Amino acid sequence: MFDYPNGLVYVGRPIADLIRYNAERGECGPGEVEEHVSKRLRHMRAGTAHVFQRERADGSVLEMRGQQLPGGGFVTTFTDVSDYKKVELALLEANETLEQRVAQRTAELSAALEAQEFARCEAQSANQSKSRFLAAASHDLLQPLNAARLFTSALRHQPTLDAESAQLAERIDTAFRVAEDLLESLLETSRLDAGKYRPEPADIGVAELIEPLVQQFSLLAQRRGLEFRVIPSRAVIRSDPHLLRRILQNFCTNALRYTRKGRIVLGIRHVGDDVRIELWDTGPGIADEQLQRIFDEFHRVDGASPWGEQGLGLGLSICERIARILNHQLRVRSWPGHGSCFAIQVPRVRIRARDEASVPRRSMLVGDLRPQHVLCLDNEPSILEGMASLLTRWGMSCDLAANRTEAFDALLRRRPDLILIDFHLGTGPDGIEVLGELLKHCNPAPPAALITADASPELKQRARALGLPVLLKPVRPAALRALLSSFARRSGGPAPVLDETAKVEPATSEATGVD
């Protein structure tokens, strides 16, 4: 350790010589050599215990411990503690810089979180901008599309229409229907991605859930020579009726699009505590390698529709998103060349036999329309004209109003059996507010429905709270006819009576925002 020369250390050598040798080489620190020797000899004679460390010229550190022996004498040990001191120094430096490093790391994390939050806000803002754009675009696009579909539907019901013109009208209506389906699919995908849908579970009878599907699709199936069969069920399930029905609508649309002949069957199976709603078709089926991809966006299976229809590949993707929101399980099975079965599993509600009467159920058939007088309020003249053309073909009479003032004038002229009103009427009161004013002057109040291109959950919730049915633009003639038929079945009594004692004060054009 001290690298003593040969012959320096031997038994009997005075300890003072060794101390002096170390002092001369600087091992004892600065100062006079003899002073170092004298001090250490005094410690030894006095038996003073000591411990100290000294850093040598080469950077190593020695620890020296001196202690008196029990039988006389004194022992000194020298230990190289260089590695220990390095670790100790590193720990000291670590402790000294810990706060600084923690502050630095905290600043880095804060910066990263701020960047992440900024990116999230940017993405959210972009998504909201996209949603606002699509909502605005949808209203502007759906308005003329709605009017066009009403006109084509009225044209197809012309009794004097020749075969060639009827075929042309059918093709025009098909083209509009395809455009409508594509636009609605894009808008619905955007709303799902933006998290606009909030499930509102309720107990609902399967019959009540399926009835609108029968009304919507049975006529199309009949025209295509397909049997559309529904297996009756008294089961009650727990789900969001609107969202679940949307899934079943997409199932039916796909089945009708790809099935050339045979039948489509809609029914249920009991699976433990659940109900599985199944739609079977006799279409071309889907190959096994395609089954895992049919729920991907914009994916379309091989094979064209025998009816010339072409989807966008979003229908089943929308089903998958909605099922995820509802926490329901989707299932598909297919047999190429024979058909497919699409199903969704829903919780079943167990009810006692005597409670079944309280479960809402309605007839599964759409009744014939009886003559009714309809008040139509919409600020788009083309839609009013199309609605009038269609309603008169169905044996209805109607008054048309483009604003609140005209609606009150029409109400004074003739009492309506029902009211169809648009939600966006310009810069004045909205359709729900105007409808509330109109209904105050009728006793009893006639049934009414809201017609709008606004598919926001807020509006639907507001209408639901008032018991107001909502038809989304572009209005499907079959859906409108089904609604009118349901009104006719419910209101078999006399027409509502106008409250002649009420003072009717139509608003001015300035108040309604009408030019």
Q: Walk along the chain (515 residues) and give the pLDDT tens digit of each residue.
A: 667 777 777 777 887 877 787 777 777 777 888 887 888 788 777 777 878 777 777 778 878 787 778 777 778 787 888 888 788 778 887 777 887 878 888 888 998 999 898 888 887 777 667 666 766 666 666 677 777 777 877 777 777 778 788 778 877 877 777 677 667 766 776 677 666 678 889 899 998 888 888 878 888 899 899 999 998 888 999 999 888 998 999 899 889 989 999 999 999 999 999 999 999 999 999 888 888 788 887 777 766 788 777 666 778 888 898 899 899 999 999 999 999 999 999 999 986 544 544 444 443 333 456 788 999 999 888 888 888 888 888 888 999 999 999 999 998 888 898 899 999 888 789 999 999 999 988 888 889 999 988 878 888 889 988 889 998 887 878 778 888 887 876 655 444 444 433 333 333 333 223 22
Q: Which two tokens stand for residue 141?
A: 């696009």
Please give, one letter per residue, the 3-state secondary structure of 141-174.
Answer: HHHHHHHHHHHHHHHHCCCCCCHHHHHHHHHHHH
In this structure, the strands spanning 263-271 and 74-80 are: unpaired
Please give, one letter per residue, the 3-state secondary structure of 232-282.
Answer: CCCCEEEECHHHHHHHHHHHHHHHHHHCCCCEEEEEEEEECCEEEEEEEEC
Fold for the domain defined by 200-358: Heat Shock Protein 90 (3.30.565)
pTM for the full predicted model: 0.50
Are 283 and 259 spatial neighbours (Cβ–Cβ below 8 Å)?
A: yes
CATH 3.30.565.10 residue ranges in the chain? 200-358
For residue 250, what are the contacts with CB-CB under 8 A and spacing of at least 6? 315, 316, 318, 319
How far is it, in rounded angstroms, from Cα 477 to Cα 391? 10
Nearest Cα neighbor of 487 from 448, 452, 451 is 448
Could you confirm whether domain 373-512 is CATH 3.30.110.30? no
Are 426 and 433 spatial neighbours (Cβ–Cβ below 8 Å)?
A: no
CATH 3.40.50.2300 residue ranges in the chain? 373-512
